[in-house]
Amino acid sequence: MKIRANLLIGGILFSTVVITGLLAPWLAHTDPVMDANLMYAEEPPGSEFWFGTDAQGRDIYSRVLYGARISLTVGIVSQLINTVIGVCLGLSAGYWGGWWDDFVNGLTNMMLAIPSLIFALAIMAILNPGLTSLLIALGLTNWSFTCRLARASALSLKSQGYVQAAKVLGYSDIRIMLTQLLPNMLGPIIVIGTLGMGGAVLAEAALSFLGLGIRPPFPSWGSMLSDARDQITTAPWISIFPGLAIFVTVLGLNLLGDGLRDILDPQARTRRA
């Protein structure tokens, strides 16, 4: 029951964020960038401005909706890059072994020794702040866990009978890895990818908060929190609603990943049976 509840609640929360991001042009009351009016600066939440306004008089509700697009794009695309890199390296290292396995292991250990956010900060310091740079920075920093999982799965699966039968039939190494090994490790990889998306959303918010991510005036939850620092006591709603958006998104992804893990984990299925 707990497993289904996690999956259901996480799916509802994440789906809500996705739908609001996709429908932002129709759900938003105003343009999140252009519609600024200092006459309505720091208006508290009310019937006209549901989430209030910021110091420039922009509708926070509209900016939160459009900010969902940026956060979801960063989370999905960067984690997809991480997954592709991690699976390619880990799968090939576990299957081929030898010097390539030693090289991938050393590279993975080096990446695990460096905090991912520090590495992303270093990359963003070299590149110009922006969405593309943010995707590159976050897409190159969190593939280590996926790589470890893919390598361990490949090591345990390559000795299975169906893999040996594929070799006898003349399958190439690439074909064996893609058709025999990869489908049997997709469950844990999907779980790690779901949880990694939540981490990517938090990392985007942190980088944007530090001024190295999405630059104002474009709406990003992290940059909105950064802009609200000076009004945290006089106009707390400016920071509350972007913070709640980050909280709901990450909570939904974590619950969704937790529910998927319990469903896709063979040992969990055995315990339930």
Q: Where are the domains of the chain?
A: 2-272
Question: Domain 2-272 maps to which CATH number in 1.10.3720.10, 1.20.140.10, 3.20.20.105, 1.20.120.530?
Answer: 1.10.3720.10
Residue for token pair 């250990």: 109
- 18-41 pLDDT per residue, tens: 999 889 889 888 887 777 777 888
Q: What is the pTM of this model?
A: 0.84
Distance CA 271, CA 255 (A): 20
Determine the 3-state secondary structure of 88 from DSSP: helix
In angstroms, rounded to a whole number, what is the distance separating the alpha carbons of residues 79 and 87?
A: 12
Cβ count near 205 (within 10 Å): 28
Tell me which of 5 and 25 has the higher pLDDT.
Answer: 25
CA of residue 175 relative to chain centroid, distance: 29
Amino acid at 259: G
Query: Given a cut of 70, is residue 1 above it in pLDDT?
Result: no
Cα separation, 163 vs 180, in Å, equals 6
Tokens 């999905």 map to which residue?
76
pLDDT recorded at residue 8: 87
Q: Which two tokens stand for residue 157?
A: 């699966």
